[in-house]
Amino acid sequence: MIYALVDPFSKEIRYIGKSVSGLKRPNEKHSSHCENWRMKLRRMGRLPNVIVVQEFPVFLDVEKILAEAETYWINHFRERGCPLTNIVDETIFGGTGRKDSPETKAKRNASLREMYKRNPLLKKKISERRKGISLSKEQRERLREVNSGKKLTLSTRMKMSAAHLGKKKSEETKKKMSIARCKRFNKQSAAK
C-alpha cells in the first residue's frame, strides 16, 4: 500500500511512503527529515495521522510496483504544493536495494534534471542542506577512487578556471599545492 502521513495541526500531507506490512510501517523510522518533523509532533503530544492513498493486491513483483507508485504519488503531491519531508534520492531510487540498469539510470537522471528545472529552489535546498557536512575517510576514499582517472571536458575546465580567476591563495596553500605537484610529478616519472 501507499500511505501518507498527515500533519494533525495543518492537515497537510507531509510524507508519502510504501508498505508491504500494512499499517505497521507508518509507525517505524523514516528519513531523517521526516523523523525531525515527527519528533516535533511528539514533543507537542501528537502523532501524524495516517491515510491510505492506494492499495495493491499481493503479488510477486510488489516491491517494484510500490516503488513506482510511491514515486508517482510523491511527484503528484509535490506538484500540488504539499511540503513533503521525503528525501529526493529515496523516492527516485525506490529503496529496493537492487542495481539499476544503465537505461534506468539514464531515465532517473533525466527525471532529476527535469525536476530541478521545474523547481529551481529544490537544487538550492539540497545544496544548503549538504553544506557543512564533512565526509568520513571511507567516503572520501570511495569518491577519490570513483573520480580518479576521469577526464574533465574542456568546457568544465574553463568554467573551473573562470571561477578561480582573481582569487588570492595564501602562502600556506601555495606551498601545499607545490608539494602536491611535486608528488604527482614524481609519481608520473616513476611510472614511466
pTM: predicted TM-score of the whole model, two decimal places: 0.45
Q: What pLDDT, on the 0 to 100 scale, is given for residue 5?
A: 92
Contact present, 40 and 47 (Cβ < 8 Å): no
Tell me, what's the pLDDT at 96? 44
Residues 6+ apart with CB under 8 A from 5: 13, 14, 15, 17, 26, 30, 34, 38, 48, 49, 50
The DSSP code for 106 is H
* Residue 89 identity (one-letter amino acid): D
DSSP E strand boundaries for the chain = 2-6, 13-18, 49-54
pLDDT at 93: 43
* pLDDT number for residue 172: 93
Identify the pLDDT of residue 111. Answer: 81
Segments of the chain scoring below 50 in pLDDT = 89-97
Are 32 and 44 contacting, i.e. CB atoms less than 8 angstroms apart? no
Model pLDDT, residue 36: 83
